[in-house]
């Protein structure tokens, strides 16, 4: 049974990518355009208007926006997956978590393409690859698990409270501003920096910039703490979805 579920998830992910490519004119291009548009706004504000962008700020901003786009997409698309597939939930006897996982894997495949573009931009900007790239895999695993855990919790609640979607969008915007996506933790005064460093997303952003721009290995203690938080988030999300699963087939579309 477990093997059949894995095969189903992989095939559904492939089918979702094919379907999105056929029904969307922009498709994968939007994953490049979206962070570039945000990059342009922040570059205009921080560099042109305020003149507060220091050395290395622009590539670090691009790294943060690219990673955040992936994580946010996993949280939102995975979070809305059960709600948007309630008809299938009623008709097919499948674990509801299949739908969020398929959505998140689909977003991850698209992220890998955008990551390749990001790496080329960094290399051309004077940030060559290093041995520290080997730590990107565990870093991305932690980022995916954290996004999945949050996405599972959202996925469990949105079918019961669809209007929660509007709150989630705003909350994630606030999270972006508090997670070092558009600023460097090193530029934050010490007492506040220590508080922000408790945020696992901020730890992931800081580690990614160190790896890609300076060839530094991540802070393994901080990354391990982020991994533990991510696993706890996944466990909570799994438990909430399993607990509420009998209610989903009874909900109106």
Establish if 4 belongs to a structural domain. Answer: no
Alpha helices in the chain (DSSP H): 2-23, 28-43, 57-79, 81-84, 86-91, 98-124, 136-157, 164-177, 190-196, 200-209, 220-244
How many whole angstroms separate alpha carbon 148 and alpha carbon 60? 24
**Is 18 part of any domain?**
no
In the predicted structure, residue 33 carries a pLDDT above the cut 80: no
Q: Does residue 1 belong to any structural domain of this protein?
A: no
| Inside any domain, residue 152 | yes
2 domain-assigned: no
Mean pLDDT is lowest, of 1-5, 54-58, 77-81, 210-214, for 1-5
Q: Tell me, yes or no, whether 91 lies in a domain.
A: yes
Domain assignment present for 188? yes
Domain total in the chain: 1
Task: Tell whether the model's pLDDT for residue 25 goes beyond 60.
Answer: no
Instruction: Please say whether the beta carbons of 71 and 230 come within 8 A.
Output: no
Average of per-residue pLDDT across 212-227: 93
Range of the domain at 35: 29-250
Coil/strand/helix, residue 27? coil
Predicted confidence (pLDDT) per residue in 104-141, tens digit: 999 999 899 889 989 999 999 999 999 999 999 999 99
Per-residue pLDDT at 196: 83
Is 44 a domain residue? yes
């Amino acid at each position: 049974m477990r093997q059949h579920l894995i095969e189903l998830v992989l095939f559904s992910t492939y089918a979702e990518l094919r379907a999105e490519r056929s029904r969307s004119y922009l498709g994968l291009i939007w994953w490049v355009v979206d962070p570039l548009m945000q990059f342009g706004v922040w570059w205009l504000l921080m560099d042109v208007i305020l003149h507060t962008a220091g050395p290395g700020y622009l590539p670090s901003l691009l790294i943060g926006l690219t990673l955040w786009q992936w994580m946010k997409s996993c949280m939102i698309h995975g979070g809305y997956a059960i709600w948007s597939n309630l008809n299938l939930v009623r008709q097919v006897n499948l674990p509801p978590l299949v739908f969020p996982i398929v959505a998140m894997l689909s977003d991850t495949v698209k992220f890998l393409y955008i990551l390749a573009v990001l790496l080329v931009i960094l290399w051309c900007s004077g940030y060559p690859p290093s041995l520290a790239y080997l730590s990107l895999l565990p870093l991305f695993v932690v980022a995916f698990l954290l996004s999945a855990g949050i996405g599972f919790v959202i996925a469990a609640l949105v079918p019961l409270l669809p209007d929660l979607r509007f709150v989630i969008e705003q909350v994630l915007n606030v999270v972006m501003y508090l997670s070092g996506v558009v600023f460097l933790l090193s530029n934050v005064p010490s007492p506040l920096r220590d508080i922000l460093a408790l945020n696992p997303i901020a730890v992931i952003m800081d580690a990614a910039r160190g790896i890609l721009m300076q060839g530094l290995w991540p802070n393994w203690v901080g990354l391990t703490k982020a991994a533990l938080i991510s696993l706890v988030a996944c466990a909570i999300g799994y438990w909430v979805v399993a607990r509420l699963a009998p209610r989903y087939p009874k909900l109106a579309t």
